[in-house]
C-alpha cells in the first residue's frame, strides 16, 4: 500500500453531510508534484503483476491471459489477467446469485457504509490511483486526477441517493390504509465499462448496482483490467462479502455475450461504442429459456459532439473551450468536441487562433505530464490515421495529421499529433462518424439557425456547447440543441457528478443520467405496499 505521504487529501465526509464534489489537485505546488512522482515510482515497481479472476470467494487462474500494456510504452506490461471464457459464465452467475440472497436483504445503511469506506480508502491513496491510470490508459496528471475524483464522487453521491430512496414514501396516504413505496434490487447485473474512464465509470456503474442491493459480474475492458482489479481490492478491504462483485475480465464475444444472454441476468450496465451497445441491447431483448423478466439495459454509447461558436462569442473563451474539449485525453472521450461549428464573420480568425493554440500543445509520455499522451492502442491509432486520410480529401488540414514519437520515448507508443481540419462539410465523414481521437473538424455556417441545424444533424445526441453573448440565442439553444448535456459559454467536457447528470439522446444511449437523482431508479424496481387499517 502507498504511504500516507502520497496524499494530503481532505478528510472523508460522513453520510449525514451534504454532497460536495471532490476538489481537483493543484499540480503546480511542489508538494503535489513530489507526491505524484513518488506515486508513479511506487506503482512502476508493481507493474507486471498477475491478477486472478474473483468468483465468489474463490481466486481462479486460466490458461488464456489478457496482458494490459502501457500505451505510452507498449513493451511495458501493466498487469497480467486471467481471461474468462463462456465456460466461466455459469460459475460467475451462480456466485452472484448466491450472494444476492443475503446482500439484497442487507440493510441499506450497511451497503452505504461499504461505499463510504471505499471512498475513504481511495481518497487516502489518491495519487496512487492517478499513477495506475497514467500507466494503464495514458492519462496525464490532470486527467487522471479528474478520473479519481469522479470515482470518489460517485461513491459518495450514490451512497446518499440510496439513503434517499430508502426513505421514499408514496405521494399520499389513502384514507384507512398504511401505504408504503419501497425500491427493491433487481438481481444480478452485468457491468461492462469502457477503457477511457476505467476508474470512474467502472466504479460508478458497479457502486450504483451494489448500493441498491444487486450483485455484479464485472467484465472490464481488456485495455484497462488492472484499474478494475484495484477497485475490487478496495471493495474487499472495505468489507465487501464474496460474490457481491465478481471480477471477470474476458472477451466480449465469448464471456461478455454469455453473461448478456444468460437467463438469470437481470440488467446490463454498459458504456462503450454505439455498435457494441446496440448489439448488447439486441441480445438482451431476446428472451431465453427459463427467463422470467425483461432484461433492463442501461447504455451509454458514442457521441459526435459540437461546439457552436456564434459571431458575437468571446473569442478567447471559445478557442480555449474548443481546444480543451477536443484534445483533452487526446480526444478519447465520448463527450469530446469533434466538431466546431463557427459563424462566418468569426470563421477565419477562429481557425487561425485554434491553429496557434494547438501548436503550443505538447505530446509525450503522460508520466511526464504532457498535454497529450498516447491513444489507447495500435488499432485505435490506425483507425484515426485512416480518418485523417479521409479528412485530407474532405477539407483543409490546418495542423497535425501524423503519428509522433516523442524524443524522450524510444520505446514506441501510440502517439498522434493533435489534428485540425477546416472547411469540412456538415455531411462529410469527418463531421458524422465518431473518431474517438485528437481530430477536430471545423465547419463554417452563415448564422445561428444554420449552426443549430448542423449541430443537430448527426445520429448522436450526447454533449454540446454554444458560445454566444445573445441571451435569446442561448435560451433558444437550451430548448432546441438536442443533446443530453448542453453547456452555455463553456466547454462540452467535464461533467460534474450531481451538477451535470450525464447521459445522451438518440444513438448516444438510453439517457441514463449517471451522477443524477434518477440514476439509482435504473438499478431498482418500485414496490407499492398497501395495508388496510
Inter-residue contact 485 to 335 (CB < 8 Å): yes
Q: What is the pLDDT of residues 74-101, one digit of tens each?
A: 999 999 999 999 999 999 999 999 999 9
Query: Considering 120, 136, 300, 417, which one is annotated as catalytic?
Result: 300
The residues, any chain, with a CB within 8 Å of residue 501's CB and separated by 6 or more, are 495, 513, 514, 515, 516, 517, 518, 519
**Does position 417 have pLDDT exceeding 70, yes or no?**
yes
The 3-class SS string of 377-397 reads CHHHHHHHHHHHHHHHHHCEE
First to last CA, the chain: 57
Q: Is 180 exposed, middle or buried (0-12, 13-18, 19+ CB in 10 A)?
A: middle
Q: What are phi and psi of 24, to 5 degrees?
A: -75, 155
Inter-residue contact 134 to 367 (CB < 8 Å): yes
Q: What is the pLDDT of residues 351-384, one digit of tens each?
A: 999 999 999 999 999 999 999 999 999 999 999 9
- Confidence at residue 180, expressed as pLDDT on a 0 to 100 scale: 97
What DSSP string runs through 309-320? E-TTS-HHHHHH
Question: For the chain, which residues make up each domain, given as ranges?
Answer: 42-301+512-529, 305-496
Confidence band for 412, pLDDT divided at 50, 70 and 90: confident
Inter-residue contact 310 to 473 (CB < 8 Å): yes
408-412 long-range Cβ contacts below 8 angstroms, 24+ apart: 408/364, 408/365, 408/368, 409/72, 409/73, 409/364, 409/365, 411/72, 411/73, 411/74, 411/75, 411/76, 412/73, 412/74, 412/75
- Confidence at residue 4, expressed as pLDDT on a 0 to 100 scale: 32
CA–CA separation, 209 and 424 (whole Å): 42
Confidence band for 406, pLDDT divided at 50, 70 and 90: low
- Confidence at residue 408, expressed as pLDDT on a 0 to 100 scale: 56
Confidence band for 2, pLDDT divided at 50, 70 and 90: very low
Q: What is the pLDDT of residues 272-320, one digit of tens each?
A: 999 999 999 999 999 999 999 999 999 999 999 999 999 999 999 999 9
Reported pTM: 0.96
CA 57 from centroid of its chain's CA atoms: 28
Query: Considering 130, 248, 310, 334, which one is annotated as catalytic?
Result: 334
Question: Who wins on pLDDT, 510 or 3?
Answer: 510
Q: What is the pLDDT of residues 490-500, one digit of tens each?
A: 999 999 999 99
Does residue 334 carry a catalytic annotation? yes
- Confidence at residue 3, expressed as pLDDT on a 0 to 100 scale: 33
**Does position 457 have pLDDT exceeding 70, yes or no?**
yes
Report the half-sphere exposure of 509 (CA within 13 A, side-chain side): 28
CATH of domain 305-496: 3.40.309.10
CA–CA separation, 158 and 21 (whole Å): 12
Q: What are phi and psi of 87, to 5 degrees?
A: -70, -15
Q: Is 427 exposed, middle or buried (0-12, 13-18, 19+ CB in 10 A)?
A: exposed
Mean pLDDT, range 471-490, rounded to an integer: 98
**Does position 507 have pLDDT exceeding 70, yes or no?**
yes
User: Grid coordinates representing 344?
Assistant: 462566418
**Does position 15 have pLDDT exceeding 80, yes or no?**
no
Report the percent of the chain where pLDDT is more than 70.
96
Q: Pick from 310, 304, 305: which is nearest to 444 by CA?
A: 310
**Does position 432 have pLDDT exceeding 50, yes or no?**
yes
Fold of 42-301+512-529: Aldehyde Dehydrogenase; Chain A, domain 1 (3.40.605)
Mean pLDDT, range 417-430, rounded to an integer: 98
Mean pLDDT, range 173-202, rounded to an integer: 98
Mean pLDDT, range 403-429, rounded to an integer: 87
Task: Name the helix (H) or strand (E) containing 294.
Answer: none
- Confidence at residue 410, expressed as pLDDT on a 0 to 100 scale: 59
CA 203 from centroid of its chain's CA atoms: 9
- Confidence at residue 5, expressed as pLDDT on a 0 to 100 scale: 32
What DSSP string runs through 153-181? HHHHHHHHHHHHHHT---S-PPTTEEEEE
- Confidence at residue 16, expressed as pLDDT on a 0 to 100 scale: 58
- Confidence at residue 290, expressed as pLDDT on a 0 to 100 scale: 96
- Confidence at residue 409, expressed as pLDDT on a 0 to 100 scale: 59
Q: What is the pLDDT of residues 104-132, one digit of tens each?
A: 999 999 999 999 999 999 999 999 999 99
Alpha helices in 167-314 (DSSP H): 200-211, 225-237, 257-261, 274-285
**Does position 465 have pLDDT exceeding 70, yes or no?**
yes
Does residue 399 carry a catalytic annotation? no
Amino acid at each position: 500500500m502507498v504511504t500516507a505521504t502520497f496524499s494530503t487529501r481532505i478528510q472523508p465526509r460522513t453520510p449525514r453531510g451534504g454532497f460536495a464534489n471532490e476538489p481537483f489537485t493543484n499540480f503546480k505546488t511542489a508538494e503535489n508534484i513530489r507526491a505524484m512522482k513518488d506515486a508513479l515510482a511506487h506503482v512502476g515497481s508493481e507493474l507486471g503483476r498477475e491478477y486472478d479472476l474473483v468468483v465468489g470467494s474463490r481466486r481462479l487462474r486460466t490458461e488464456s491471459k489478457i496482458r494490459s500494456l502501457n500505451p505510452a510504452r507498449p513493451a511495458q506490461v501493466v498487469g497480467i489477467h486471467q481471461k474468462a471464457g463462456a465456460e466461466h459464465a455459469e460459475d460467475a452467475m451462480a456466485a452472484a446469485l448466491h450472494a444476492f440472497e443475503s446482500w439484497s436483504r442487507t440493510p441499506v445503511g450497511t451497503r452505504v457504509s461499504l461505499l463510504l469506506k471505499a471512498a475513504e480508502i481511495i481518497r487516502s491513496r489518491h495519487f496512487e490511483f492517478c499513477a495506475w491510470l497514467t500507466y494503464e490508459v495514458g492519462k496525464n496528471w490532470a486527467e487522471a486526477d479528474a478520473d479519481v475524483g469522479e470515482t470518489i464522487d460517485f461513491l459518495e453521491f450514490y451512497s446518499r441517493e440510496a439513503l434517499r430512496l430508502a426513505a421514499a414514501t408514496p405521494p399520499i396516504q389513502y384514507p384507512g390504509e398504511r401505504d408504503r413505496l419501497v425500491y427493491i434490487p433487481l438481481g444480478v447485473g452485468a457491468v461492462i465499462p469502457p477503457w477511457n474512464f476505467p476508474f470512474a465509470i467502472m466504479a460508478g456503474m458497479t457502486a450504483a448496482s451494489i448500493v441498491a442491493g444487486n450483485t455484479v459480474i464485472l467484465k472490464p475492458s481488456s485495455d484497462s483490467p488492472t484499474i478494475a482489479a484495484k477497485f475490487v481490492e478496495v471493495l474487499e478491504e472495505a468489507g465487501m462479502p464474496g460474490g457481491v462483485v465478481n471480477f471477470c475480465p474476458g472477451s466480449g464475444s465469448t464471456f461478455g455475450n454469455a453473461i448478456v444472454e444468460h437467463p438469470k441476468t437481470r440488467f446490463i450496465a454498459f458504456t462503450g461504442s454505439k455498435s457494441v451497445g446496440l448489439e448488447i441491447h439486441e441480445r438482451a431483448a431476446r428472451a431465453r429459456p427459463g427467463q422470467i423478466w425483461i432484461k433492463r439495459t442501461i447504455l451509454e454509447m458514442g457521441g459526435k459532439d459540437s461546439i457552436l461558436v456564434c459571431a458575437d462569442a468571446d473569442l478567447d473563451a471559445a478557442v480555449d473551450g474548443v481546444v480543451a474539449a477536443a484534445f483533452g485525453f487526446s480526444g478519447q472521450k465520448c463527450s469530446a468536441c469533434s466538431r466546431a461549428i463557427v459563424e462566418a464573420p468569426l470563421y477565419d480568425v477562429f481557425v487561425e487562433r485554434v491553429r496557434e493554440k494547438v501548436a503550443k500543445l505538447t505530446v509525450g509520455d503522460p508520466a511526464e505530464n504532457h498535454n497529450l499522451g498516447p491513444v489507447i492502442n495500435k488499432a485505435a491509432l490506425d483507425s484515426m490515421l485512416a480518418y485523417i486520410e479521409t479528412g485530407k480529401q474532405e477539407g483543409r488540414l490546418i495542423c497535425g495529421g501524423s503519428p509522433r514519437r516523442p524524443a524522450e520515448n524510444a520505446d514506441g507508443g501510440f502517439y498522434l499529433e493533435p489534428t485540425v481540419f477546416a472547411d469540412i462539410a456538415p455531411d462529410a465523414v469527418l463531421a458524422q462518424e465518431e473518431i474517438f481521437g485528437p481530430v477536430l473538424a471545423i465547419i463554417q455556417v452563415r448564422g445561428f439557425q444554420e449552426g443549430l441545424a448542423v449541430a443537430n444533424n448527426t445520429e448522436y445526441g450526447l454533449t454540446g456547447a454554444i458560445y454566444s453573448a445573445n441571451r435569446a440565442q442561448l435560451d433558444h439553444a437550451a430548448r432546441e440543441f438536442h443533446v443530453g448535456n448542453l453547456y452555455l459559454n463553456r466547454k462540452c467536457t467535464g461533467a460534474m457528478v450531481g451538477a451535470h447528470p450525464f447521459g445522451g439522446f438518440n444513438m448516444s444511449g438510453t439517457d441514463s443520467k449517471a451522477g443524477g437523482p434518477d440514476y439509482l431508479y435504473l438499478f431498482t424496481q418500485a414496490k407499492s405496499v398497501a395495508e388496510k387499517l
